[in-house]
Structure 1
């Protein structure tokens, strides 16, 4: 028992120190429990198969898809519209929305769903994201106190009461307690978040290397020379190849890409296919050709081939009504610099082999302060030229393999990851709603962890994330390892008898001082233990103890069991006390001491208020 407590104390010291990564500290603590044979290998590794850990992995993927499809930005813009220019209104609105969602689905699920929305919201509002992410996690736990199903400790005390023959709690028995928690949390967190979570703004802002896709489009004036034509039914272009049309030779136009509508009748299936203009590509009716060149040449080409000249500067998503140029869902652009040693120096663009070997097109050349955008086929490339190339993202990534021939400027793949697949937003929303429905309604025979994993896989299969690699990149492995490695600590504390000994001595030893003192002892014992073991395990351990202690002094067990539920759920002073706290740790760039500075005062104030409120709501 003493070895377990020593490992726990050492872990807490290293967590608070912050010089060693939190996941490494957790793994070392786990290894210590294994080395001293306190836990068996099966018990120690059980945390990595825990449903909460698996659910967190799936929710990271779902959250990543919500962000990638632009759904987060759409929702955040609505919330931002309600809040206006007031950061205070925005803060309160985020907490209220999160708490409302947390009343019906798990707090872990709530945070994972709200995390990308709030990150996008903070970016749009030019607000420090670290100021809202920790309150977001806390609000999800507060919202869990609104209903019987909001958090696991609520169900635990319900089970203890019914097993002991007491009147069971109703679905909304917790609502008054939850409302007090939310109100207290908002009032306390407004100043605490400003004092302790604001100074990281400079740290968060990072200088982006390279140019964004929008900057490249503006610099090379692609919008000014980009036009679209549609292959109409009956057009002689239908059934012909790009080479047969002689677009470049006869009309001096550069065919940038072909956009093919695959499923116009269904907005939930992928409706747009992008592909480069291969000379052997056969055009079909309905294809949209993106052309670069002089407008009079585009008009002449459209007239000769009976093509429909479309609105030149809008995308296919006409319902959006937004001006635009190129979309970068599947095809992107990047700059490459030609050094003096490159074989391409003094070679015409048409003979460079870039199209044949790498499937990329040259859209423009920047030569000192001059931009060459037309007649590129016969233009010879010089040393120091910067080429604007276009191709599929995976083909652009292949260009990095020839450092002696050219240097890829910036981070094009990082830019690709920022491109929102906005045409997938309705599909991502539908998957998210179905997942929430499975988690909310008991008549749907799907476990929450199963619903989350199904949603995560669907997000990948339906293209809401670019590929499986993109899904893996959404997972915050530091948080996953932290929770998985710390979960077995509760098993060690139970196995060695440390938790039971501590809880019984603290709770029963205060019984002689009256019900209020005993209530305070139960609450703060629960709150203290939840900092080191899971809130569900704490509730399971302390709920029977609180019930027996109340019976022994002749008091009603309801306020004491509510103290256990609230104390277990309102644990804010540690990043690994609840999964939501761990979920926001990396995104908010928090250290362990940040939870102490913000969470500990809130936890203490919440406890004092609950000790005063619970006897009024549930008399002794």
Structure 2
């Protein structure tokens, strides 16, 4: 018992210290229990097979698909409209939405679904995301206190009651207690979370990148100044011809940068964007994106019966202004620097070999403060030039890996993962609804529903690559939660939990049920700061039941108190999955949770000691 308590105390101290990553601390704690012989290897690793630990990576993937497909931006714009310019109103809206969803969905799934939306809202409204994410996690846990299915500890005490011969909990049995928590949270979370503003600017600055987005690059190099869109009508002479036959670049001195072809499916209307290749066959209604001198492009259009998609200004034969939008789902843009000793120094663009070797176009050149965008094929490249290139993200990455004469700015694969796949939004929304209904209506066990949803968003290509899906998982959260769960087994094996029961009854039993209730709730609230809420509920449910039976009073206030205080552990990042999930995204440390969550946790403890016997009499 002494060894277990010592390991627990040292682990808590290291979390508070915050100099070592939390998942490493948790693994060291786990190894200490194995090396001291308290846990076997199988017991120590049992946390990694827990369904919740399996669910967390899947929920990260489903949550990331909401961002990747633009759903987060869509919903966040709706929240912003409701909130207006008021950060306080936005804060309250997030709390209300999290509580409502958390009532019918697990708090883990609620955070996975709302976290990308909240981050998107914070970015658009210039709010401090640190002040929103932790309250989001707390509100999802409050929502779990509204219904039977909201959180795992509620199911634990339901099973304990049924096995002991009592009537189990109804779907809304604990709703009155949840409403008390919700009202208190609405009043206290806003002033308490102000503490998180202190590191807000630093936290946001760490997220900023010096790498320009494709849209920023297109604007900087003024690509649209020389870009035109030509549509191929039914009467055009280029239909069914290969680009190699037309020899457009040589005959007209223009460059086709991309071709968009409309496609129709029963579910969605889509447009396929592709790079031109020698064997590309042009079809009716294709839209050609062409760079070059306007007179050359007009000559090409007139000779081949093509129509400008962007109309002439005031209906006159003047240069039309590009009014389209760039799509960077598959075809991207990036900057590359020409090295000082490059073989390409003083060579013209068409001799670079970029198109032939990597299927990448050079669209423009930046030389000091000068931008070269006219007649780019015949422009000479010089050392230290910045080249704006266009190609598929895979081809840009290949150029980065294989071309020794240039350096690509940034990481093309990471930049590609930031591009939203808007055409996949209906699939992501349908999969999300399926996951929510599966959990709420018990179609499948929660872990199976989450795994089905995570596989579905990958197979439906809501991510560009499987690597992007795996990159969305916060493995620190997964390891942290899995490594802390076996502590419950250690406490039970060493008699620590039994000692707690005896101590409570021996010390407080003579003062009546109120005192025992206060002791059980306080002990539950304290213990869940160091182990998971589910593990705490498993440990304290039989303790609470035995205490109530020994005094001859109703077990309901005691057991419901256990589930409330186990779930309302707000002073620790690893006691509940929602707290763990927002830790990295909000750049929180252990003390952030203590400063914001501990005062609220104490208020909740006092409120439940008073309210529970009134709602569920002894």
Q: What is the rounded CA distance, in whole Å, between the counterparts of 2:81 and 2:534 in structure 1? A: 38
> Which residue is 2:386 aligned to?
386
SS at 2:144 equivalent? helix
Change (3 A) 1:246 1:264: farther
User: 1:265 Cα deviation (Å)?
Assistant: 4.0
> Which residue is 2:233 aligned to?
232
User: 1:254 Cα deviation (Å)?
Assistant: 1.3
SS at 1:335 equivalent? strand
Q: What is the rounded CA distance, in whole Å, between the counterparts of 1:554 and 1:485 in structure 2? A: 38
Residue 415 of structure 2 is aligned to residue 415 of structure 1: yes
Preserved contact between residue 131 and residue 198 of structure 1 (Cα < 8 Å): no
* Mean Cα deviation higher: 297-306 or 280-289: 297-306
> Which residue is 1:534 aligned to?
532
Preserved contact between residue 130 and residue 196 of structure 2 (Cα < 8 Å): no
> Which residue is 1:34 aligned to?
34
> Which residue is 1:613 aligned to?
611
SS at 2:20 equivalent? coil
> Which residue is 1:156 aligned to?
156
Q: What is the rounded CA distance, in whole Å, between the counterparts of 1:190 and 1:53 in structure 2? A: 31
> Which residue is 2:252 aligned to?
251
Preserved contact between residue 211 and residue 410 of structure 2 (Cα < 8 Å): yes
Q: Deviations over 1:572-616 (max 9, x none)?
A: 111111111110110011111111111111111001011111122
SS at 2:486 equivalent? helix
> Which residue is 1:272 aligned to?
271
Q: What is the rounded CA distance, in whole Å, between the counterparts of 2:189 and 2:234 in structure 1? A: 62
User: 1:557 Cα deviation (Å)?
Assistant: 2.0
User: 1:226 Cα deviation (Å)?
Assistant: 2.0
> Which residue is 1:319 aligned to?
none
1:200-219 map, 5 Å:
200-206=200-206, 207-219=208-220
> Which residue is 1:117 aligned to?
117
Q: What's the RMSD between the two structures over aligned residues?
A: 2.0
> Which residue is 2:485 aligned to?
487
User: 1:404 Cα deviation (Å)?
Assistant: 4.7
Preserved contact between residue 14 and residue 25 of structure 1 (Cα < 8 Å): yes
Q: Which runs of 5+ in 1 are unaligned?
A: 314-321
Q: What is the rounded CA distance, in whole Å, between the counterparts of 2:57 and 2:235 in structure 1? A: 51
> Which residue is 1:509 aligned to?
507
Q: What is the rounded CA distance, in whole Å, between the counterparts of 2:492 and 2:8 in structure 1? A: 13
Residue 566 of structure 2 is aligned to residue 568 of structure 1: yes
- Give the TM-score, by structure 1 length: 0.94
Preserved contact between residue 500 and residue 541 of structure 1 (Cα < 8 Å): no
Q: What is the rounded CA distance, in whole Å, between the counterparts of 2:501 and 2:395 in structure 1? A: 61
> Which residue is 1:293 aligned to?
292
> Which residue is 1:263 aligned to?
264
Q: What is the rounded CA distance, in whole Å, between the counterparts of 2:535 and 2:414 in structure 1? A: 41
Preserved contact between residue 570 and residue 600 of structure 2 (Cα < 8 Å): yes
User: 1:335 Cα deviation (Å)?
Assistant: 1.7
SS at 1:205 equivalent? helix
Q: Deviations over 1:276-317 (max 9, x none)?
A: 11122112233221112244443443333233432479xxxx
1:221-620 map, 5 Å:
221-267=222-268, 271-311=270-310, 324-401=324-401, 404-442=404-442, 444=443, 446-507=444-505, 509-620=507-618
Q: What is the rounded CA distance, in whole Å, between the counterparts of 1:168 and 1:337 in structure 2? A: 68
Change (3 A) 1:455 1:233: farther
Q: Which runs of 5+ in 2 are unaligned?
A: 313-321
Q: What is the rounded CA distance, in whole Å, between the counterparts of 1:489 and 1:381 in structure 2? A: 64
User: 1:197 Cα deviation (Å)?
Assistant: 4.6
- Give the TM-score, by structure 2 length: 0.94
User: 1:244 Cα deviation (Å)?
Assistant: 1.9
SS at 2:45 equivalent? helix
SS at 1:67 equivalent? helix
Q: Deviations over 1:387-428 (max 9, x none)?
A: 211111121122333575122234444332221111211211
* Mean Cα deviation higher: 228-237 or 493-502: 228-237
* Mean Cα deviation higher: 555-564 or 463-472: 555-564
Change (3 A) 1:312 1:523: farther
Q: What is the rounded CA distance, in whole Å, between the counterparts of 1:349 and 1:112 in structure 2? A: 47
Q: Deviations over 1:482-513 (max 9, x none)?
A: 11111111111112221232134224531210
Preserved contact between residue 105 and residue 439 of structure 2 (Cα < 8 Å): yes
Change (3 A) 1:525 1:246: same
Preserved contact between residue 203 and residue 587 of structure 2 (Cα < 8 Å): no
User: 1:21 Cα deviation (Å)?
Assistant: 0.9
Preserved contact between residue 226 and residue 374 of structure 2 (Cα < 8 Å): no
Preserved contact between residue 239 and residue 284 of structure 1 (Cα < 8 Å): yes
Q: What is the rounded CA distance, in whole Å, between the counterparts of 2:574 and 2:92 in structure 1? A: 25
SS at 1:228 equivalent? strand
Q: What is the rounded CA distance, in whole Å, between the counterparts of 2:588 and 2:98 in structure 1? A: 20
